[in-house]
Amino acid sequence: MAEISNRYDHRHAAKAVDLQQLRLTVAASDYGSFRRAAEALSIKHTAFSRAIGQLEYLVGTSLFERSSGGIKPTLAGRAVLRIARLILEQVDMLVDAGRSGSRGDTGHLVIGFFTSMSTGNLRATIAELKKLLPRLELVTMERSRFRLITALRNGTADVVVSPGRIPSKDIKSLLLWSERILISLPQDHCLASREIVYWTDLRNENILLSKYDPGPELEDLLISKLVLPDDRPRVERHDVSRGIIKSLTSMGMGLSLVMESDIGASFAGLVYRELQDGAGPSRVDFHAHWRDDNENPALKRFLSLLAERYPSPTPALGE
């Protein structure tokens, strides 16, 4: 029975220890005096000494040797102080993690996309986010449009950055930037000698497109620029990635439409030229998409960064 009683008393004492007692004990050791520590913390000397005495009672031993010259930790006191410092450090980290998480400084963020990150704004934005929030666990996800919409809806992805808008009532969007459309072609092709290629120059060419994103946007743009079917080039849709399309293009099997962000990764035997019509370069808008009910603080930080980097144009008066 005595052993059971001792275990009960030990558990009761452990529950009675509070963080303030630990903080004051550590402060007393650091200042070498109860009085000096109490003055530094703006606490009455009697209340300070009482808190130390309560902790000594709970742990069942004296923590300090007291003298007219100050205090000195006992052997047991040094052991208690070492553990107290570890506990207080962990508590401070816990509080900091909570505050940082609520601000979006830490946590987890999944960014989905179906465009290239070899260069351009998406690459630069993600790099800036990681620099601003180095403790943020950042995950990227490259998928098809359909799979990314599904990932947004089921919470697997927090935000999707893509060319064009994703039409959905439960998904919000933010206009970001636009990218020029370029033509990629073998370096020995006759159009490679020009700095600018016009859409009408593609009339007799063979255009290679991936069946995956963003193939539909590029094909729709081609049709809008060359309305008459007789003016359009031949279009081949391949069930391969954009990287394989580049390989096929460099082999002389045709030309391909790409966006600016695709050109960061150099490819042997391949060159890029800007595509224009009478009004100038052709561009595609990029948007960020997210669920309005997603309360991830890290998502809010990322959206704030996007809004700061790519502010929406202010409408003119009367619009």
Residue type, 12: H
Which pLDDT score, from 0 to 100, does residue 14 have? 58
Q: Which of 140, 180, 189, 161 is nearest to 290 (CA)?
A: 161
Which pLDDT score, from 0 to 100, does residue 217 have? 77
Pull the structure tokens for residue 128: 């800036």
**How many distinct helices (H) and strands (E) make up the chain?**
10, 13
Pull the structure tokens for residue 211: 């069946």
Decide which of 2.40.110.10, 1.10.287.990, 3.40.190.10, 3.40.640.10 is the CATH code for 180-283: 3.40.190.10
Domains 2-103 and 180-283 share a fold: no
**pTM, 2 dp:** 0.62
Contact 157/141 with Cβ under 8 angstroms? yes
Which pLDDT score, from 0 to 100, does residue 201 have? 93
**CATH code of the region 2-103:** 1.10.10.10
Q: In degrees rounded to 5, what are phi and psi of residue 273?
A: -135, 145
Q: Which of 54, 61, 88, 90 is nearest to 76 (CA)?
A: 61
Q: What is the distance between the alpha carbons of residues 220 and 218, in angstroms, rounded to a whole number?
A: 5
Q: How far is CA 153 from CA 149, 180, 289, in A?
A: 6, 30, 11
3-class state of residue 319 by DSSP: coil
Question: Running along the chain, 319 residues long, what does each successive block of 10 average in pLDDT?
Answer: 45 71 91 91 90 91 90 92 85 59 64 81 91 88 83 90 83 91 93 92 91 77 85 88 88 91 79 90 91 90 92 53
Dump the DSSP string for 103-123. HTSSSEEEEEESS--SSSHHH
Beta bridge partners of 279: none
Which pLDDT score, from 0 to 100, does residue 306 have? 93
Contacts 24+ apart (CB under 8 A), 277-282: 277/198, 277/199, 277/225, 281/180, 281/181, 282/180, 282/181, 282/199, 282/221, 282/225
**CATH code of the region 108-176+284-309:** 3.40.190.10
Which pLDDT score, from 0 to 100, does residue 215 have? 65
Which pLDDT score, from 0 to 100, does residue 176 have? 92
Which pLDDT score, from 0 to 100, does residue 194 have? 92
Q: So where are the chain's domains?
A: 2-103, 108-176+284-309, 180-283
